[in-house]
């Protein structure tokens, strides 16, 4: 016969539902914002490249085009990852974000190779930059839009832990750096009549993007290979367990993440004289304490009698 849940459980459930809805809104807004910014910058940089002929602007244009593709992938991945668990995917769809991050890494690598080839050709066959003032104005617009987007994405990643948005932020950090480098090389190349600086700036951008690939791929592999949660989070789980008066001991803590969901599994030792009903109640309390710290977690507790050994 069903019984009413305690008020504290209802309050916790309400908080979890509110937090989940807030994360979903943030993730969707982040993907729309990145897609819109990428589209605006592609149009502006295409016009600037056609006007100036700068290979540095071309490199930034390719980076923005890559951002649009990556943002599209993130848009799809986030929406799929937010789908609730179903009969075919009992643990949800969170790993879609890690798969998307791998796809984004492939686009980054392909674009970097193309940029390096174009830059090498420009070093061998330097060409003067024309109408640099137009290029600088467009790059100024790009810097303003990208800075605002990166700051917003940083907050979204901090609050949700989304891999897809994190990968998207990496693209835009590279785009922000490339915009700063492009602005500097445009001015210096014209002022000092050094066309090779234009190509050098594009090469610097390419190398930065390559450095970012390592972190992106590592984070994706950690999710796909069910890597343990960061040690700080595991220690926090242990602190919660030690603070509960009913816990006599614990062992076999296993954790992993999938999208924004953390999976936590652990064996809890309770007093051997504890009744089944009381053990069930204490297990609910322990789970609620963990959920208060990790609202999106899926928790499996195995309750064992404490033997004193």
Q: Which residues contact 308 (CB under 8 A, 6 or more apart)?
A: none
Task: Give the burial string for 166-202 (b: 16+ CB within 10 Å, else e).
Answer: bbbbbbbbbbbbbbbbbbbbbbbbbeeeebebbbbbb
At residue 193, φ and ψ (nearest 5 deg) are: 50, 45
Q: Which residues contact 13 (CB under 8 A, 6 or more apart)?
A: 5
Contact 172, 149 (CB under 8 A): yes
Highest mean pLDDT among 9-13, 32-36, 94-98, 124-128: 32-36
Domain boundaries along the sequence of the chain: 7-224, 231-306
Three-state DSSP state, 270: strand
Fold that domain 7-224 belongs to in CATH:
Alpha-lytic protease prodomain-like (1.20.1510)
- Model pLDDT for residues 176-197, shown as the tens digit of each residue: 877 787 777 777 777 777 767 7
The C-alpha atoms of residue 128 and residue 199 are separated, in whole angstroms, by 11
- Model pLDDT for residues 200-243, shown as the tens digit of each residue: 777 777 777 777 777 777 777 777 777 788 888 899 999 999 99
Fold that domain 231-306 belongs to in CATH:
Alpha-Beta Plaits (3.30.70)
Query: Strand ranges (DSSP E) for the chain?
Result: 249-258, 261-271, 298-306
Predicted structure pTM score:
0.53
């Amino acid at each position: 016969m069903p019984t009413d849940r305690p008020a504290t459980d209802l309050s916790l459930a309400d908080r979890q539902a509110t937090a989940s809805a807030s994360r979903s809104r943030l993730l969707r807004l982040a993907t729309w914002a990145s897609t819109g910014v990428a589209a605006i910058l592609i149009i502006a940089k295409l016009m600037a490249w056609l006007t100036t002929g700068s290979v540095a602007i071309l490199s930034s244009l390719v980076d923005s085009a890559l951002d649009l593709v990556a943002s599209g992938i993130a848009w799809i991945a986030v929406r799929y990852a937010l789908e609730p668990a179903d009969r075919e995917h009992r643990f949800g769809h969170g790993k879609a974000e890690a798969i998307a991050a791998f796809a984004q890494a492939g686009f980054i690598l392909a674009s970097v190779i193309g940029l390096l080839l174009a830059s090498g050709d420009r070093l061998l066959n330097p060409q003067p930059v024309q109408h640099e003032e137009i290029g600088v104005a467009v790059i100024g617009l790009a810097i303003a839009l990208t800075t605002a987007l990166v700051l917003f994405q940083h907050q979204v990643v901090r609050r949700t832990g989304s891999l897809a948005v994190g990968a998207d932020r990496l693209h835009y950090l590279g785009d922000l750096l490339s915009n700063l480098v492009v602005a500097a090389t445009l001015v210096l190349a014209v002022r000092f009549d050094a066309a090779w600086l234009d190509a050098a700036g594009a090469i610097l951008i390419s190398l930065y993007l390559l450095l970012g690939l390592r972190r992106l791929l590592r984070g994706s592999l950690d999710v796909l290979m069910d890597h343990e949660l960061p040690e700080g989070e595991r220690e926090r789980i242990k602190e919660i367990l030690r603070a509960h008066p009913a816990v006599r001991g614990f062992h076999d803590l296993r954790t992993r993440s999938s999208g924004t969901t953390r999976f936590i599994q652990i064996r809890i030792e309770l007093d051997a004289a504890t009744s089944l009903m009381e053990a069930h109640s204490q297990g609910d309390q322990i789970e609620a304490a963990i959920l208060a710290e990790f609202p999106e977690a899926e928790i499996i507790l195995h309750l064992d009698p404490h033997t004193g050994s």
